[in-house]
Chains A and B, each alone.
Chain A
Amino acid sequence: MHRIMVDAYRCDGCMECVAACERRQEKPAPADVMTGETRHSACFVRKNRQGQFVPNFCRQCSSPACLVTCMSGAIQQDPKTSHMHYDKERCAACYMCVMNCPYGMPKPDIITNKSVVKCNYCGDIEEIPDCAAACKTGAIYIAEVE
């Protein structure tokens, strides 16, 4: 399967990945570089304990904790690509996926609190998701993994 990979040592904190993720919305929220994420961005960039920028991305895990915890059926695994897809209409906003992801990637939509923000690999429409396409430094790229 294709997976988004991160090489944090190449990240200069430009937030283009976050902005690209937000732009997928019909009505994008303003990018807030200070917090390293936006309302609808499924990724975020924060500094780590050494002060290094780290892009944080959904790994589209092989045994996804979000998938097993989803009691509404909103999160489903695409049989072809193995990527997790999220259906806002089915979501019950119980937020168990927010709690159960070891990487802390899904987050509530903090304005409505009626859905989560969750990476769906840009719906598997394009070969390269928008975040990786927007990265100029090579910190975010796509690789084929088992």
Chain B
Amino acid sequence: MKFMIIGSGAAGMAAARELRRQREDAEICVISKDRAPYARCMLHKYVSHERTIKSLDFTEKDFFTKYRVHHISECPVESVLPEEKYIVGDGKKFFYDKLLIATGSVYGIPPIPNFRTANNVFGFRDLKDAVTIDEHSKDARKAFIVGSGLVGMDVAYALLKRNISVTVAEMATRIMPLQTDEISAGIYQKLFEDAGVTFRLGIGASNSVVNEENCITEVILSNGEKISCDYVVVAAGVSPNIAFLRNSGLTLDRGIVVDDCLQTSNPDIFAAGDVTALSGIWPNAVMQGMLAARNMAGKQELYQDRFWIKNTMNFFGLPMLSVGDVSPKGDDFLMLADAKDGQYKKIILKDHRITGVQLVGDISHGGVWQYLIKNQISVEEIENNIFEINMSDFYGFDEDGLRERKRIVQNAFI
């Protein structure tokens, strides 16, 4: 049996390890455009010179030897032929029995004049993007960043460490709009501004000026303001990396369409991670990779732990945890907030169930909130002390947090 995995990111590497656990004697092969695995979430630490390329690697020591996985590196896959059961990478055919597509996502460049053609507009997704930005940062003084999501702010944070003055333009009226409310966004905006970042909120770039070397020297905002820069970083969202599958015959939507077993429209092909459009965060990509691997090895497991509106960040030594919708629209929510000693906590409830939690400052033991939200556990009986909720409150209770078990030892609550 030959298992082939396209992509050496979170999903692909988790799948390779799990396949080896499932099948001691199978042939396992990872094919990827990268030279070695690395964690995208740490790429900004390469730009800030806090990490080397080697220390971006998230895998175990000697992963490929240890798990006997063949790695075909720096080989971008150009097409998949499900009928013939082979893929084409770098002009060569690679046959498989079972295939996993874990090609992640790609960034888009907005249709602002010159942005798609200029020589100094960069995305931030792959190691080569980080390397390019690092090189351009040696002599740069000013950078313009489009988008204030987590990626945009990671880049801003890294460029501050390189003493580059940064302007961030965000279409929403607050920074990191998916993870914040007005208060938490304000806290981080001030930290970034104090460190030297300039924000333009509720505003987009509408035009630009290029020099004779086809480099953008000035970005023009929709209010007419001109901001000069040495280069532009676009962090305005990603989409599943499926362009190479257009002629494969596989059913595609926004991402590769998969069923609950993560099987595509072809029974020998599975998909996991960002490319499925089911989620966009690391843990879910890993879980999908492991589950797809088990199903490729003949199991019939369903992908059930689908919740992924959750994130953490840690800028300037101030951590934040954000789970669920922390800035809901409508008035049928109960919002409880508590702010003291530089800390901020907000809990959003609907029908005695928590729908969103935001913690800024002390996020210790915050994982419990994630469990309560994800599983829609009723907190009716402990609502009075809601800010103090922790695992103790569920000791001896079943998974729903409702029925108390009789004198149970450990493993309560899951």
Contact = CB atoms under 8 A, between A and B. Distances in A.
A86 interface: no
A100 B10 CA distance: 16
Interface stretch (A23-31, A87-95, A120-128, A129-137): A87-95
Interface string A11-51: 00000000000000000000000000000000010111100
Contact of A8 (B45, B319, B381, B395): B395
Interface in B257-291: 281-283, 286-287, 290
A68 B287 contact: yes
A107 B370 CA distance: 14
Contacts of B385: 49
B392 A47 contact: yes
A59 interface: yes
A63 to B, nearest CB: 9
Q: How large is the interface on A (under 10, 10 to 19, 20 to 34, 35 or more residues)?
A: 35 or more
Given A69-B286, A102-B368, A46 B312 contact: no
B362 interface: yes
Contact of A108 (B14, B364, B391, B392): B364
B403 interface: no
Interface stretch (B55-63, B134-142, B329-337): B55-63
Contacts of B286: 68-69
Given A102-B370, A104-B365, A95 B414 contact: no
Contacts of B323: 99
A54 B392 contact: yes
B379 to A, nearest CB: 10
B163 interface: no
Nearest to B305: A65
B413 A73 contact: no
Contacts of A93: 314
Given A7-B409, A95-B312, A98-B312, A104 B392 contact: no
Nearest to A110: B362
Nearest to A141: B409
A65 B310 CA distance: 14
A105 interface: yes
A76 B393 contact: no
Contacts of A8: 395-396
Contacts of A108: 314, 319, 363-364
B321 A98 contact: yes
Interface in B305-345: 310-314, 317-319, 321, 323
A98 B407 contact: no
A76 B369 CA distance: 24
Given A49-B382, A68-B14, A113-B319, A96 B55 contact: no
A105 B390 CA distance: 10
Interface string B361-380: 01111111111000000000
Given A5-B410, A73-B58, A103 B391 contact: yes
Interface of A: 3-9, 44, 46-49, 52, 54, 56-57, 59, 65, 68-73, 76, 90, 92-108, 110, 112-114
Given A7-B410, A49-B393, A71-B58, 6 more contacts: A44-B390, A48-B393, A70-B58, A92-B45, A99-B311, A104-B367
